[in-house]
Chain A
């Protein structure tokens, strides 16, 4: 249990950012959601009245800037990939709806007689 006034031990910002980039690269949604919770906790600790070790946090922030740039680029690439995949899904849905029959080998035709 955390004692009143005692600070949680947070991972170094640099490690946190690098871990977020790695998790996003391998699309580890569970890990990313855990990291989001960690960030929320860290954010709370930065609220007015909780500010301690400010010089240490500033040092960590400066050290993490390079990793943050990497994270931003990975996020940008993911957004582009997501866009491609979404368009792909729309394309497939269109094909299925209009029955062009080439998508994903969905070429099996239903018999109108129900006997095959």
Chain B
């Protein structure tokens, strides 16, 4: 009887185990389209054998739970690449808006920031026209008119850049609450995971934590450190602690020089977050580096043009025979006190065209030597060692090259994320064959791409040399 009871018990256990395993499979099927769900596989444990009359009888297996098919190394790599891709995407979006500002709008009848290059040419050309007719009122009006167009476009560009900077500041500040909400949630999940599954995969709880980590990686650059009992510590990429097992540190904000700064405790981590990745890193890089660089260049252009033109006009004689003095200067533009803020504050202060000092001092009002000198400023290195138009061209081409570089990074990072997602999906797939096949595909793709790259490199080098030869002959 004992043996029959044992047999029934064994069969019963086997049925229970199969049922539990079927439940896990059913759960996998039910959650097949659930975002972030990781497939689970049943764990089996051998039951202790029973000894009857010195003979050992097996008692089957018991299903002891489920293990998620996940790999933390791959998930962390995916999170890291996601941080980089999110940062470059956010930065690229901001840079595209900046670049659009400096792109001439051929369909627009009014002058815009994109016309600054042609505005500079028109402004200095207007002095050449005045040089030919130094007493002509319409030529004098044309100088002031072209000065106003130039000033309008430069100051509008500066105002638009400042608006874009403010908008990025708001976007960056808005990320804070999302980051805090996610770090809170992760800390709570840490507590649950540590109490329920300290030594094994916590299934759906870990799925939730991984989902939150992926979201957090899109927002901010982080490092993950696994701690005891399946816990997790999260720091920013520069090392500030955001989550330590069951507790989280809040990211707070404050205003410094009119811009939002970010703190953990009392430490200002703004510059570290800028280089750390995630959307926040992208927003801050555009806000604190890219836009200020363009604004500084525009300020320098406005400052140099204003001060150089004013200085010359103040040394000449106007149509009424007046020469400017320190106390009563003859300025066309408002005289900037410093480079910073010059673009935004640039304006035309001269209202009477007769005050344009076309004549040299002591040469009579019909003279044109000072108008000639002002026209020649166009070809002189008055802006940081460059002519005004060359300086502006360099500003635009430097911006274009930054956009192109960030675009390149973004494309590569998104490609890397796509590859890792493909690998991650294969890892969570049904069987090991799929996984091996996925790895083979990765290897084959890399090898074929390396071949393509090497050959293209050779082809391009040869083609460029051929082009040179053709050009020479």
Contact = CB atoms under 8 A, between A and B. Distances in A.
Determine if chain A interacts with chain B: yes
Interface of A: 13, 16-17, 20-21, 23-29, 32-33, 35-36, 39-40, 42-43, 46, 51, 54-55, 57-62, 64-66, 68-82, 84-85, 87-89, 91, 102, 104-105, 107-111, 113-116
Contact of A39 (B60, B67, B456): B456
Contacts of A62: 464, 467
Contacts of B412: 70, 73-74, 76-77
Contacts of A74: 411-412, 415-416, 449
Contacts of A84: 73-74, 77
Interface stretch (B126-134, B166-174, B259-267, B435-443): B435-443
Contacts of A85: 74, 423, 439, 442
B41 A68 contact: no
Nearest to B199: A102
B44 A107 contact: yes
B455 to A, nearest CB: 4
B409 interface: yes
A27 B61 CA distance: 41
A111 B45 CA distance: 9
Nearest to B201: A102
* Interface size of B as a range: 35 or more
Contacts of B8: none
Interface of B: 10, 14, 40-47, 49, 56-61, 66-69, 71, 73-74, 77, 81, 200-201, 404, 407-409, 411-416, 418-420, 422-423, 432, 439, 441-446, 448-453, 455-460, 462-464, 466-471
Given A13-B463, A78-B419, A88-B73, 12 more contacts: A20-B452, A24-B445, A27-B419, A55-B471, A62-B464, A70-B407, A75-B449, A77-B412, A105-B68, A113-B49, A114-B58, A116-B60
Given A16-B456, A58-B468, A71-B456, A25 B414 contact: yes
29 contacts: A24-B449, A25-B414, A25-B415, A26-B418, A27-B442, A32-B445, A33-B444, A36-B448, A43-B455, A55-B467, A57-B466, A68-B460, A75-B446, A77-B415, A81-B77, A81-B423, A82-B443, A84-B77, A88-B73, A105-B43, A107-B67, A108-B44, A109-B46, A111-B46, A113-B49, A113-B57, A113-B58, A116-B47, A116-B58
Nearest to B466: A54
A72 B415 CA distance: 12
A75 B412 CA distance: 8
Given A40-B455, A105-B41, A32 B449 contact: yes
Contact of B456 (A20, A28, A109, A114): A20
A116 B442 CA distance: 39
B56 A113 contact: yes
Contacts of B58: 111, 113-116
A23 B445 CA distance: 8
Which 10 pairs, one residue from A and one from B, show the smallest C-beta to C-beta distance? A58-B467, A105-B41, A73-B412, A25-B415, A54-B466, A77-B416, A32-B448, A39-B455, A29-B444, A61-B463
Contacts of B449: 20, 23-24, 32, 71, 74-75, 78
Contacts of B423: 81, 85
Given A20-B453, A113-B49, A55 B67 contact: no
A72 B414 contact: no
A45 to B, nearest CB: 9
